[in-house]
Every structure is written in structure tokens, then in C-alpha cells.
Amino acid sequence: MEEPFSPPQSFDLLQAAIDAIPDPLFVKDLQHRWIACNQALSNLLGGVPREKLIGYTDADYLPAEQYQVFWQVDDAVVATGQMHENEEVIALPGGITRTLWTRKFPVKDERADIIGVCGLVIDITALKQRQIELERLGAELAQQRQIIEAQAALLEEIGTPVIQVRDKMLLVPLIGTLDSRRAINVVDTVLHAISQANAQIIILDVTGVATVDTSVASYLMRTVQAAKLLGCHSFVVGISPEIAQTLVGLGISFSDVATRATLQQGLEEAMHLLA
């Protein structure tokens, strides 16, 4: 018959067990003295040997403004018998600052009397740094969103300006982002202006346009085609290399549209046609 299992009572075994825990762990008595700790706590405090920690307190290694806060938490755990969790920034020997998440709970004897405090510490420095970085990026994105919204509101207010360069010639400078809504407005405004001015030539200047997608390109083509039906010749000028690549990639052809690289070239060609 096998003998009943009797767990080892070795202190060395218990010490080895808590040393295997990667996060700092400690036990304090009611006088805030460390009576047990693991290797991770020694490492956190700059490699202080365990024999220089047992029987010592936070006051032997940390400034008063820090250890007094720790002791207040210790005393609260003892007084209430409740676990306490808190985040704290600690200045360690060597000028190193770490952000820690600490859980402290009461240690009781066989009579259920509180005889100390046990603490488990998690170093969240890297996590806090990532959180700060995410908050910074979030603030930047919010600022960019505000700028974009302000620009959109300004473009909405400006609308689609139509400039009469000379008799029978109109210039439409387009700036910012052309979405479908703005593109529809461009079509309506341009056709109305052509009709009102009895224009023979209209120049659509897209130098200030950031991007063009399939929908917007389609509206530009419709503008040119509709202008032609009104007897007006169209020039599209200022297509950037980026927009040209986008149009080619989308399979959109402007082969039937008179295009010029710059506004100056478009104006010269238009003047020649009206001469």
C-alpha cells in the first residue's frame, strides 16, 4: 500500500517557486519590512541582493515621497482587509523611472488575523508608452480631421468659382478634394455659366485638385461633353503626374479631351482659337 503523499515543507522550495514568477512579488510585515520576496523584486530595485532586502523597508531604497505613498496603501490594506490595486510611477536607483501596476492584499495567520501585506507588481512601462503614443496619434488624427472638415467647409462656401477671362472665355479653377458631390456642383455651375456668358471656350484648371477617382473623372468627362453640346470648346489643364497615373490605372481615357500641361498653355491655345 502506497504511503499518502506528504508535500515538502522546504523553505527553499517555496523560495524557488516565487523566484519562478517573472513579476516582482513580496510580503511585508506590519512594520513595512520585507519578510519575503522573489528575484524579480531584486531585479526591479537594481539587482539588490535578497539579503539586503529582507528586514529592510522601502525607505532604505526609495525617496520619502514614494515610500510614504506605498506605506499608506499598505496601511489601508491592513485596516480594511481588502485588496488594493493602483498604478504608480517609481524612480529607481540609477535614474530609471518605471510605471507599475501593483496589487496588494492582506496576509492572515491561522486565526485569520492580518499579519502583513502581500504585493504583486507588474511593470507596465512599455504599455503606458504605447498608450501615450496612441493618444498622441489620436490627437494628431483629430487635428487633421478638424483641418479637413474646415477645408471642406471652406470649399463648400467658395463653391465653384467661374472667372470670365475675356469675352466668350471662362476659367474654372478647381482646388482641394473633388468628391462626387462637388463634382456634380461643378457640372451644374459650369453649364449654367456657359449658357449665361454664351461662352465658346471654357478652361477647367485641375492644378489644385489632390486626387481624382473614377466617379470624379466621369463627371469631368460629362462636363466636357455637355459643354460641347452647348457649342463650347473645353480645355482641361494642370493634370498632375499623380492624377495622370491614377487615370491610366483606372482605365480612364481623356483622348477625346483637349488637355494642356499648364494653365498658361491652355490660355495661349484658347486665345489663339478666339483670335
Is a pLDDT exceeding 80 seen at residue 165?
yes
Segment 105-144, tens digit of pLDDT: 999 999 999 999 999 999 999 999 999 999 999 999 989 8
In a domain, 57, yes or no: yes
Answer whether residue 106 is part of any domain.
yes
Residues 118 and 197 in one domain: no
CATH code, domain carrying 185: 3.30.750.24
Nearest to 238 by CA among 275, 267, 271: 267
pLDDT: is 127 or 220 the higher one? 127
In a shared domain, residues 217 and 116: no
Residue 74 has pLDDT above 90, yes or no: yes
Nine-digit cell at 178?
A: 473633388
What is the Rg, in whole angstroms, of the alpha carbon atoms belonging to the chain? 38
Do 202 and 267 lie in one domain? The reply is yes
| C-alpha cell, 54 | 529582507
**Residue 134 within a domain:** no
Question: Is residue 5, in this structure, part of any structural domain at all?
Answer: no
Q: Give 222-272 pLDDT, tens digit per residue.
A: 888 899 999 999 999 988 888 888 778 877 777 778 889 899 999 999 998
Which run of H or E residues covers position 229?
helix 214-229
User: Residue 55 maps to which CATH number?
Assistant: 3.30.450.20
Domain presence at residue 142 = no
List, in sequence order, every residue forming a beta bridge with 235; answer none if it has no partner: 203, 258
Is residue 266, in this structure, part of any structural domain at all?
Answer: yes
Confidence band for 6, pLDDT divided at 50, 70 and 90: low
Number of domains in the chain: 2
Task: Assess if residue 1 is contained within a domain.
Answer: no
* Site of grid cell 475675356: 166
Domain boundary among 97, 123, 149: 123
- What is the span of the domain harbouring residue 207? 159-274
Q: In this structure, are 25 and 70 located in the same domain?
A: yes
Share of the chain above pLDDT 70, in %: 93
With contact defined as beta carbons under 8 Å apart, do 73 and 104 qualify?
Answer: yes
Amino acid identity of residue 13, one-letter, is L
Per the CB < 8 A criterion, the answer to whether 172 and 161 are in contact is yes
- DSSP assignment of 151-212: HHHHHHHH----EEEETTEEEEEEEE---HHHHHHHHHHHHHHHHHHT-SEEEEEEEEE---
Torsion-angle region of residue 46: left (phi > 0), alpha (psi -120 to 50) or beta?
left
> Which amino acid type is present at position 121?
V
Q: Using CA atoms, how far apart are residues 178 and 240, in angstroms rounded to an integer?
A: 14
Confidence band (pLDDT; 50, 70, 90) for 12?
A: confident
100 and 170 in a common domain: no
Side chain identity at residue 76, one-letter code:
A
Query: Quick check: is 53 in a domain?
Result: yes
Residue where a domain stops, chosen among 99, 123, 147: 123
